[in-house]
Amino acid sequence: MSKALRIGVAGLGTVGRGVVKVLQQNGDVIAARAGRRIEIVAVSARHRSNDRGVDLSSYRWYDDAAAMAADPGIDAVVELIGGADGAARRIAETALQNGKALVTANKALIAHHGMALAALAEEKKVPIRLDAAVAGGIPIIKAISDGLAANRCTAVFGILNGTCNYILTQMEQTGRSFADILADAQRLGYAEADPSFDVDGIDAAHKLAILSAVAFGARLSFSAISITGIRDVTPVDMKYADEFGYRIKLLGIARHSAAGLEQRVEPCLVRKSNPLAAVGDVFNAVVVEGDFVGRTVYEGRGAGEGPTASAVVADLVDVARGNRTPVFSIPVRQLTALQAVARGALVASFYLHLRVLDEPGVIAAISESLRDQEISIENLVQRGEASGGGIDVILTTHETREDKLITAVDKISKLRTVLNRPVAMRMIRA
């Protein structure tokens, strides 16, 4: 067996602890599959004295993780600290500058600095591996770059954030509000104390940027992604989506066509017959469409100690085998700056939820605003007892351009009888 791959682990939180456990418990089977042993020789974390439930006594300890990344006795660095800048970026750059392989689960780092890091890795002739950064235990990066290498990918989309999927699943099942379920998710450890990155769609957008680069050979452009979170979704929306035959999911959607590259993160009504509709709680699922293979679907746990650690170690096995495939499947200089599809150019059916006063002429005024934009109503439901808080009006449209819908919604929201800005969501019918 070849000489062991010596690694340093930066960050000993949930995932870092999991990586140590996997390598300690399954070291023999991993070595057999990798062709050589993968050995932790050094670790670094913010607090040395914390009890992490794993034996770290045989590893060199570094208070400065960037110094560990420069250690000549290390072949590969595992960065599990997180964040787009600061320590994580220093560790990554130091490792690559010193000719070491980099394995990371840090989607924010890659989404914002992946182009520069990939160029540095190619210059130094060392690999970057990042399967753990997207969809946890689902090997989606390898599936696209290796398993679907014969295809031109036309679309990649799915449920990319387990926290949001848990919240939406629980709202649907219990009828409780977003705020109540979020509080539960925080108590259970599914959501951070500051949940903004998750519930506002930022985390999913980081992952979508990476998937777009791998699937379409697109230059990373996080700023080109249209992002809408789930804070405005209500139990009422869940109820009517169900009546119409849909479930509400936060989706990351990237499609490549002659018009350019569409990249969006937003809550959508997904038809119950779609495989994504059945994916509940903290699970993730990704759909990839290729010109020869057609539609393929991948599902699994999108976060947590075990699934993410599994993905990290799988990346280490790639490094141990000597796999130097470019991080985005093709050399960074060949990535293309694809034209972004304007948000308003989307053609789709939409769901609208309005809260209105129960007065004569309300529905007529709403219908007129839609008619003026050539938007045809498919379904309309008006329910609820008249009260100071108004009643709910729910409608769905036939296919229309999104810019027309936005114009209509702006006009509707200014009507005296409409009590709040309408909630609008795209409908995924296929």
Q: Give the residue numbers marked as catalytic.
A: 207
Instruction: Give CA–CA dist 39/97, Å, rounded.
Output: 22
Helix ranges (H only) for 217-281 are: 235-244
Torsion region of 213: left, alpha or beta (phi above 0 gives left; psi -120 to 50 gives alpha): alpha
- Residue (of 245, 301, 304, 280) closest to 170 by Cα position: 280
H/E/C letters for each residue in 273-294?
CCHHHHCCCCEEEEEEEECCCE
Exposure string over 16-53, b if 16+ CB within 10 A, otherwise e: bbbbbbbbeeeeeebbeebebbbebbbbbbeeeeeebe
How many residues are listed for the chain in this entry?
430
DSSP-derived pairing of the beta strands 294-301 and 260-271: unpaired
Cβ contacts of residue 86 below 8 Å, gap of 6+? none
Instruction: Give CA–CA dist 13/11, Å, rounded.
Output: 6
- Contact (Cβ atoms closer than 8 angstroms) between residue 335 and residue 218: yes
The token pair at 129 is 């591996």
Instruction: Give CA–CA dist 274/31, Å, rounded.
Output: 40
Instruction: Give CA–CA dist 377/396, Å, rounded.
Output: 6
- Using DSSP's 3-state secondary structure scheme, residue 203 falls into helix
